[in-house]
Amino acid sequence: MQLTKLGHACVVLSDGDRRLVVDPGAFTEEYAWDGASAVLLTHEHVDHFDAARTRAALDADPALEVWTNASVAAQLEGAGPRVHVVGAGDALTAAGFDVQVHGEWHAVIHPEIPRIRNVGFLVEGRVFHPGDALTVPDVAVPTLLLPVHAPWSKIGEVIDYVRAVGAERAVAVHDGLLNETGLGVVAGLLGERGPGTSTPYTRLASGESLEL
């Protein structure tokens, strides 16, 4: 299975002609949708979910299916049974990939900002995308897609999250708001150079891939 990062929070998991797209939002390259077999959406924020693009993709491909939470599905009302509502504890098959759902809530941004629903997806038991949450699955995670920067997080929480998950490796996502200086600072605090985080840390540029 190949993992390709496509801007900010979006990744594509592919195997042969199967192409599973996770969180193609407003900061994601348009071509992320090309050849998509199925789409997973963690939550409704625009950097993870672009309603107009999602509707256009569903209209363009009658075989395309989407799995997401109830809040996002409500914004795709009228798209029919190809939009599936899932929650914590569910298991599904999308584009031929086995997927487990973990987590329920978006991380707290501020006490005065209402929390929204957020689901994380563990694909083939090998790679976990938590969306905008620091969800720790109750199973082993070989590859953690790590949200390294967000209005709701601080680096100490990110470091502790890496420790809690104990993945074999962490791959950066949710880094679209950082410049090169910020990316360098984050890289210096994570992975083997960080304060006690033994999990190897990798960042892919948009369009780069690695084999899982």
| Rounded (10°) CA dihedral 168, 210, 92, 144 | 30
pTM, whole model, 2 decimals? Answer: 0.96
pLDDT digit string, tens, across residues 63-102: 999 999 999 999 999 889 999 999 999 999 999 999 999 9
Q: What are the extents of the domains in the chain? A: 2-105+116-206
pLDDT digit string, tens, across residues 125-146: 999 999 999 999 999 999 999 9
Indicate the CATH number for domain 2-105+116-206. 3.60.15.10
